Copies of this chain bind each other. A is one copy, B any other.
Amino acid sequence: MSVLIVGSTALDSIKTPHAENPRLLGGSASHAAVAASFFSPVKLVGVVGKDFPKKYVTLYKRHKIDLEGLQIEEGKTFHWSGEYEVNMNHRRTLLTELGVFENFTPHLPESYKKSPFVLLANIAPALQHHVLDQMQKPKFVVADTMDLWLNIAKDELVKLIRRVDCFVLNDGEAHQLTESDNVFAALKKIHKLGPRYVIIKKGSHGSILSGPGGFFICPAYPLPNVCDPTGAGDSFAGGLMGYLATARGSIDGNIRRGMIYGAVTASFCCEGFGLKKTTTIKRVDIEKRVKELEKATRF
């Protein structure tokens, strides 16, 4: 089955202590879509400007991503620039040029509206709502977010959380949302907002699922070298959704393994700037790391 993914499609200029990479393909939807494409057909919803490099359209197409929902508008593509510190756990935004993203309203093509799996990747909650409003009884909806929306659109975000099957956020955001510093206490609080599944991402410490089957402690894939963690959380959500869309059986039965696939897809994302590493791998490379994670967690 196919996955519909809505989110940002951007150009990222990323600086680390070791290198500088201007105008890479980025944005939550780009990372999630490429990650999901290893498992299932993907329908992308996003917006870019007329300046959007053709090579990135080619990249999407190479991953068989359906671009009917990619709006190309007069103006400039959303451009984000950020800088990482040595330990990669802290980054600061240097520049945000919204461009065509400022007036983006996601219109779903007819062929998208019956997609069974919907990933509302990080984007304004109002736009996430707008996409959901256009969908016809999706089977499974996941939403991600970022701290910005907790700061400026918390009410809309909380309403969105009620409407989704699975809500994904990182530990800092969970703390901000619940005022609880403890991940397990935060999970309980977010559950009360509505979703059947809640996942808190903890970067290199993995992620925790709370669902009907109890907690699942999902490891991160061991990486001795992290090149650029931008998009890792989006890759995680994309890999998870791509896996779920094609796995046989129930979501309850598959979601844990889906998170493992998400963690592995995210690990490749961290090994190159932007999507550079992710776009060089094949499904077999993912399967190899999944087996390694099985071995690294067995006791």
Name A residues whose Cβ lies closer than 8 Å to a Cβ of B. 86-89, 181-185, 188, 202, 204-206, 208, 214-219, 222-226, 256-257, 259-260, 292-293, 295-299
Contact = CB atoms under 8 A, between A and B. Distances in A.
A293 B216 CA distance: 9
A216 B256 contact: no
Given A184-B224, A257-B299, A299-B256, A217 B216 contact: no
A274 to B, nearest CB: 20
Contacts of A86: 181
Contacts of A181: 86-89
A216 B295 CA distance: 8
B184 A299 contact: no
Contact of A260 (B87, B226, B292, B299): B299
Q: How many copies does the complex hold?
A: 2
A167 B99 CA distance: 53
Across the A-B interface, the 6 shortest Cβ-Cβ residue pairs: A256-B299, A87-B181, A205-B205, A184-B224, A217-B219, A185-B224
Most chain B CB within a 10 A radius of its CB, from A208, A224, A226: A224
Contacts of A223: 182, 184
Given A202-B205, A205-B205, A217-B219, A182 B296 contact: no
A247 to B, nearest CB: 12
A210 B202 CA distance: 21
